[in-house]
Structure 1
Amino acid sequence: MDLKLKGKTALVTGSSSGLGEAIVKMLAAEGAAVIVHGRNQERAERVANEINASGGNARTAIGDLTTDEGADAVAAAALQGGAIDILVNNAGATSHKSWGEASADDWLDIYNNNVVSYVRMIRRIVPQMKLLGWGRLVHIGGGLGIQPIKEQPHYNATLAARHNMSASLARQLKETGITSNVVSPGAIINPMVEEWLVNAAPKFGWGTDLEEIKYKAVQDLIPNDTGRFGKPEEIAGAVSYLCSNYADYISGAVIRVDGGTIRCL
């Protein structure tokens, strides 16, 4: 399926590794010119070089989005090559501190990382989208923003804020040709998660075979209707669809890609 992204330019924050890397590579494969963002020049250039070597069109924008100065630098570098049609807000931080461990400063820090950083890029990229009369804003949220757990309350709250912010923005952008949506991932497998699962397996009695460990971990920790972890490419697919013209009629939505982990309508 051709998502008709040729001629579009996409900035994906936090795309020098992990989920953001999968997203930026899929958008490039669909024909978009992409801007790889990160705080580390070497890692961002690795991703951009891999995209270019595969026949895509990629460049980098480096900066720390937790500061106004860093966001200014990223926006300036991104816009230097022309207008930005697509902004995927993905960069952020995680924290596993509990209610008793997370201080007020921890709450402020992760809110700045996970919410205000999104706002900084929205404020710098959306005005020129309005001049284009078309744009796509996709924000990466999470199931813990819908059904929070007792742990990491400050992190859970930032995901909920992202969902709320995106819907408010969709209302603000009414009839501009710009849409604002959230993709809400479930538990996604990656090398770091696999390493944690292998190390935790003896404690939980999950066995020694990696596939068995992953299956049993899903049953114990994140039961869902597919019986497995998600893959980064499955999140990237949802993001890419929302960036296309086929998603013109979707705005203010939360698209859950979680295998049915969240059990609500």
Structure 2
Amino acid sequence: MDLNLIGRRALVTGSSSGLGEAIARLLAEEGADVVVHGRDEARANAVAEKIGARAVAIGDLATDEGAQRVATQAGEIDVLVNNAGAYEHRGWADATPADWAWTYEVNVVSAVRMIGHLVPGMRERGWGRVIQIGGGLSGQPTEILPQYNATLAARHNLAVSLARELKDTGVTSNVVAPGAILVDAVQRYLTDLAPEHGWGETWETIEANAARDFVPNDIGRFGRPEEIAGAVAYLASPYADYVSGATLRVDGGTIRNVA
């Protein structure tokens, strides 16, 4: 299926590995001119070469200077995917106010910076896409990672507010909300935990049992980066012209509300 992205320029933040890399790859395959972003120039260049992207942008989006540098390097952008983010494994007992502030800066204010730099150009040109990578924990948080859960909620909230702001401009704002996604680090983590939990020895068995215990869903497994990339590519395309202020959940049915 041709998503009509030829001639569109896309910036995927945090795309030098993992989920961001998968998103950047699919957008490039669909014909978009993709800008790979990361903080490590060697890694970003390696991904750009691998997926056929023509540009990289290097900078720390958690700082005003880094975000400005990335925006300048990226140039005019039609599709902004705010994927970059991070968290540290903290709970209520050990997540300090400084941890909360750092997580918010990295996961929320970084996206606000890029919106501020790039969305005015979209408005002037009369077409654009802003896509936040959120998650189900935004609405159904757990007791662990409270500082991270809160930043996901902020991402969802700002996306809807931005959609209202962009009314009648030709620019849309949406969220893709992944469930638990199987990137390399997650597979290694689950494999290491398997003996302790009795999940079996083959990866097929480990994944099914870990999904049952950690993220019960209707598909019985973890999601794949390519499945999130597919949702992003749809929202980036003209086929989603009538979609704004929406959350597209790609979680195997983990979140079980009807909204």
Does residue 102 of structure 2 align to residue 109 of structure 1? yes
Secondary structure of 1:37's match?
strand
Secondary structure of 2:206's match?
helix
Q: 2:200 aligns with which of 207, 216, 222?
A: 207
Instruction: Find the aligned partners of 1:91 and 1:204 in 2 and give their Cα distance.
Output: 32
Q: 1:58 aligns with which of 51, 54, 57?
A: 54
Q: TM-score, length-normalised on structure 2?
A: 0.98
Q: 2:67 aligns with which of 65, 71, 89?
A: 71
Instruction: Find the aligned partners of 2:150 and 2:143 in 1 and give their Cα distance.
Output: 11
Q: CA deviation at 1:256?
A: 0.3
User: Which blocks of at least 5 consecutive residues in structure 1 are unaligned?
Assistant: none
Secondary structure of 1:91's match?
coil
Match of 2:252 in 1: 259
Does residue 126 of structure 2 align to residue 130 of structure 1? no
Q: CA deviation at 1:51?
A: 2.1
Structure 1 residues 102-150: Cα deviation after superposition (integer angstroms, max 9, x where no partner) = 0000000000000000000000000111111000000000111110001
Q: TM-score, length-normalised on structure 1?
A: 0.96
1:11-160 correspondence runs (5 A): 11-52=11-52, 57-79=53-75, 83-160=76-153
Q: Percent identity?
A: 60
Secondary structure of 2:54's match?
strand
1:161-200 correspondence runs (5 A): 161-200=154-193
Instruction: Find the aligned partners of 1:50 and 1:210 in 2 and give their Cα distance.
Output: 27
Instruction: Find the aligned partners of 1:205 and 1:100 in 2 and give their Cα distance.
Output: 29
Match of 2:218 in 1: 225
Decide whether the 8 Å contact of 1:28 with 1:58 is kept in 2. no
Decide whether the 8 Å contact of 1:88 with 1:137 is kept in 2. yes
Instruction: Find the aligned partners of 1:168 and 1:102 in 2 and give their Cα distance.
Output: 28
Structure 1 residues 182-211: Cα deviation after superposition (integer angstroms, max 9, x where no partner) = 000000112111111111111111111111
Instruction: Find the aligned partners of 1:146 and 1:30 in 2 and give their Cα distance.
Output: 32
What is the root-mean-square deviation in Å for CA atoms of aligned residues? 0.7
Q: CA deviation at 1:160?
A: 0.3
Instruction: Find the aligned partners of 2:210 and 2:217 in 1 and give their Cα distance.
Output: 11
User: Which blocks of at least 5 consecutive residues in structure 2 are unaligned?
Assistant: none
Decide whether the 8 Å contact of 1:201 with 1:207 is kept in 2. yes
Secondary structure of 2:111's match?
helix
Structure 1 residues 215-263: Cα deviation after superposition (integer angstroms, max 9, x where no partner) = 0011111110001110000000000000000000000001000000001
